[in-house]
Amino acid sequence: MASITAAQAYMRDQKIDGWLVYDFRGSNPILPQLLPGKRWTTRRALLFVPASGQAVLLVHGIDQPQFREAAVRQEVYLSWRDLIGWLASMAAGRGRIAMEYSPGGMLPAVSMADAGTVELVRALGVEVVSSANLIQACIATWSPAARAEHDRASKAVGKIKDEAFALIAQRISAGQSVNEYEVQQHILQGFAAAGLETSEPPIVAVNAHSGDPHFEVSATDPAPIRRGDWVLIDLWARRPGEKNVYSDITWVGFAGNRVPAKQQEVFNVVKAARDAALQQAVQAWQGRTGSAREGEAPAELQGWQLDDAARQVIIDAGYERYIRHRTGHSLSPGPLVHGLGFNLDNLETHDTRAVLPGLGFTIEPGIYLPEFGVRLEIDVFVDPERGPTVTSVIQNDVVLLE
């Protein structure tokens, strides 16, 4: 299996002897990524992937029929003593084993193995290390096909965004009414026509609603959009297919011919924050590929550093109190818009996962005042040859809806 092969290559490079993927009743979403299939387990299941050699799955006899299609060697257990004995045999002669564990619980997205199971494995005489970067290397990485489908989705999402703003402008210019829900439904119709799917409806937020990062449009009492209003649109969609990746963007517009001074000021700060994070990523890549001083290994860029780069711009501009979330999230193959790779986060968590080639992420700093909010979101792919590359449309001026 391609993902297991990639995991083994990464482990050998990082001097990790094996990867233990522990699951109880679907508690670990990594297991179905490595062993695809819809199933419901009632007992503990453990997949051990050695750095070299064949992966082996330990499964209870009651649950084994659900894994008949899994392309790994399988062993069956009955008692807890059988399970511990199997663990001991897997750990024998090995020094470092990765698990879905995060030191200090700093990465909740990775902390899926319970403390007791980690203690059990440690008691076998091995060092338990985090599988955080291992997950990135074998599951969150984009394939060439996924990149191509993402590019198709990004082009379509950008066009649908333009059409949504155009609808608002046309209605206002014609003296006709338009509201948040109508624009949201227009976007969903655009997704359907383009052959795209989405996990949740898009956000169309007017004035104070745009100051709520997770505002939900009301179908029964949507806010009207009138001349002089501020509008934020956040939309995300992907080409159908479980190996495909979302395009996820946020833009803002003003219903008039001249942006008010306060909105323009905040827009400029958020734009500078976005660009600071992107520049940090590009500069780190350049250092990685030869700009570092001779004889020195380039420093490994981590997710928290990109968050700091963006957030510092906002802090320096005096808007720190209006920050309400991290700077960005992972984009990876799978059904969720928030992926399994690193986040741009040194606020909600301290994300020490590496910015590796083949990974995708969003940059989406925001400033949220009581009367309006600004978020500017772009998608970035760490191309193995070219480095961090913006894959979505990018907003550099407020859209004027006149």
For 110-133, the pLDDT digits (tens) are 999 999 999 999 999 999 999 999
DSSP class of 287: I
Q: Poorest-confidence range of 187-191, 287-291, 368-372, 381-385?
A: 287-291
Using 50, 70 and 90 to split pLDDT, how confident is the model at 287?
confident
Distance CA(121)–CA(98), nearest Å, equals: 10
Could you tell me if 91 and 97 are in contact, meaning their C-beta atoms sit under 8 angstroms apart? yes
Q: pLDDT at position 2, please?
A: 61
If you average pLDDT over every residue of the chain, what do you get? 95
Taking 80 as the threshold, does the pLDDT of residue 288 lie above it?
A: no
**In angstroms, rounded to a whole number, what is the distance separating the alpha carbons of residues 198 and 160?**
13
Look at residue 294 in the predicted model and tell me its pLDDT. Answer: 45
Beta-bridged to residue 98, according to DSSP, are 19, 129
Residue 364 confidence (pLDDT) above 80: yes
Q: Report, as an integer, the average pLDDT of 68-83.
A: 95
- Find out whether 298 and 351 touch, Cβ atoms under 8 Å: no
pLDDT of the residue at 289 = 60
Q: Running DSSP on this structure, what letter comes out for residue 100? A: S
Across residues 230-248, what is the average pLDDT?
97
Alpha carbon distance 311, 126 (integer Å): 39
CA distance 144 to 202: 27
- Annotate 32-76 with DSSP letters as a single string: HHHS------SSEEEEEEESSS--EEEEETTTGGGGTT--SEEEE
Provide the pLDDT for residue 37. 84
Nearest in space to 39 (alpha carbons), one of 57, 54, 20: 57
Spatial neighbors of 307 by CB under 8 A, at least 6 apart, are 277, 326, 327, 328, 343, 344, 345, 346, 347, 351
- The pLDDT > 90 percentage for the chain reads 91
Top-level class of domain 144-400: alpha beta
**Residue-wise pLDDT tens digits, 162-209:** 999 999 999 999 999 999 999 999 999 999 999 999 999 999 999 999
Residue 166 and residue 142: Cα distance in Å, rounded?
33
Residue matched to tokens 């179908």: 219
Amino acid 211 reads: G
- For residue 295, pLDDT beyond 70: no
pLDDT score, position 129:
98
Give pLDDT, residue 402.
86
d(CA 78, CA 285): 50
Q: Which of 328, 318, 192 is nearest to 248 (CA)?
A: 328
Do residues 324 and 366 make contact, with C-beta atoms less than 8 angstroms apart? yes
Among the four given CATH numbers 3.40.50.720, 3.40.350.10, 3.30.460.80, 3.30.2350.10, the one describing domain 2-140: 3.40.350.10
Confidence band for 297, pLDDT divided at 50, 70 and 90: very low
CA-derived radius of gyration, the chain: 23
Domain ranges in the chain are 2-140, 144-400
Distance of alpha carbon 136 from alpha carbon 348, whole angstroms: 20
Average of pLDDT values for 134-151? 96
Residue type, 56: V
